[in-house]
Amino acid sequence: MACGEFSLIARYFDRVRTSRLDVETGIGDDCALLNIPEKQTLAISTDTLVCGRHFLPDIDPADLAYKALAVNVSDLAAMGADPAWLTLALTLPEVDEPWLEAFSDALFEQLNYYDMQLIGGDTTAGPLSMTLAIHGYVPAGRALKRSGAKPGDWIYVTGTPGDSAAGLAILQDRLTVNDTDDAAYLVKRHLRPTPRILHGQALRERASSAIDLSDGLISDLGHILKASGVGARVDLDLFPLSEQLLRHVEPEQALRWALSGGEDYELCFTVPELNRGTLDVALAHLGAKFTCIGQIMPESEGLKFVKDGAPVTLDWKGYDHFG
């Protein structure tokens, strides 16, 4: 049976599993109407995902829904915000109802997990792509930004960057991992990254700047340095790499993926010396490791890397969406 635009929306996307009290009007009108909590600042981020560029054509629709939401939630995590609402514009080559059912089921499962509500969007015909706009809020004056790093601050990352790039290499048959558990772990880190939303919120009172690692640490840390007008020294010997990754690739390749692979959606953040002692109490119970990898320097120093105590030159670059 043919499924037109409005029946498609009604069947797969107009199902309010989490009904937020701050949503006055959601799907079904010309606009959504939202009531912003008092003394909160609205946080908004938008991401477009295009088949063949941001995800593989044969990706499972449930994995696609999970990742599409996760990469948006990660942007809010980087600013210490609470996720609340989502709009979704979905372009489909055809109405594939089993695909839509799997995609929408996974999407609503994750929306429910984050206590979010889908409040609107659009559907149209064309090559598979989607644009998600995520909305949240953060206490006024307490948002994490890229522009607050100061010389002397310490640089941290959560988790183990590089795993996602390895997972993609496995999916593209560029890396063979015979250990099924390790392969599954690395692939999952690519398909189902974990936004560090609770870490971001805990860092609101402690970090001086933050960013999520979407394009690789070299590129993303560079954004902090540019916005803050500072330089940095990163010690490659301190960089956290997972055992699952190191068992199957040489350390240099693992480090290359960690610094330039992208799509890890971990947090990179800076912390003043005065606040370092509170990090263990604030973050230790949240499940992901966090590692100090270097220090913010004066802008004249630029971005420098050291290994075994000596400067090293890297020609690696982060992910380029137009590369």
- Residue 51 DSSP class: B
The two tokens of residue 110 are 């994750």
Domains in the chain and their CATH numbers? 5-139 (3.30.1330.10), 146-310 (3.90.650.10)
Among the residue ranges 16-30, 38-52, 91-105, 194-208, the one predicted with the least confidence is: 16-30
Average pLDDT over residues 138-160: 98
Residue 300 is assigned to a ligand binding site: no
Residue range 111-146, pLDDT digits in tens: 999 999 999 988 888 999 999 999 999 999 999 999
User: How far is the CA of 212 from the CAs of 96, 217, 270, in angstroms?
Assistant: 33, 9, 12
Residue 319 is assigned to a ligand binding site: yes
Q: What is the C-alpha separation between 130 and 68, in angstroms, rounded? A: 8
Residue 54 is assigned to a ligand binding site: yes
Q: Count other Cβ atoms within 10 Å, centred on residue 107.
A: 24
Residue 46 is assigned to a ligand binding site: yes
Q: What is the C-alpha separation between 101 and 13, in angstroms, rounded? A: 9
Residue 214 is assigned to a ligand binding site: yes
pLDDT at 252: 93
Q: Residue 237: pLDDT above 60? A: yes
Residue 212 is assigned to a ligand binding site: yes
How would residue 2 be classed by pLDDT, with cut points 50, 70 and 90?
very low
Residue 320 is assigned to a ligand binding site: no
pLDDT at 26: 85
Residue range 58-114, pLDDT digits in tens: 999 999 999 999 999 999 999 999 999 999 999 999 888 899 999 999 999 999 999
Residue 66 is assigned to a ligand binding site: no
Residue 263 is assigned to a ligand binding site: yes
Residue 121 is assigned to a ligand binding site: yes
User: How far is the CA of 174 from the CAs of 69, 115, 170, 171, 202, in angstroms?
Assistant: 27, 38, 6, 8, 38
pLDDT at 319: 44
Residue 47 is assigned to a ligand binding site: yes
Q: Residue 321: pLDDT above 50? A: no
| 3-class secondary structure per residue, 26-40 | CECECCCEECCCCCE
For the chain, give the percent of residues with pLDDT over 90.
82
Q: What is the C-alpha separation between 115 and 136, in angstroms, rounded? A: 11
Residue 45 is assigned to a ligand binding site: yes
State the average pLDDT for the chain.
Answer: 92
CA angle 194, 195, 197 (to 5 degrees): 135
pLDDT at 29: 85
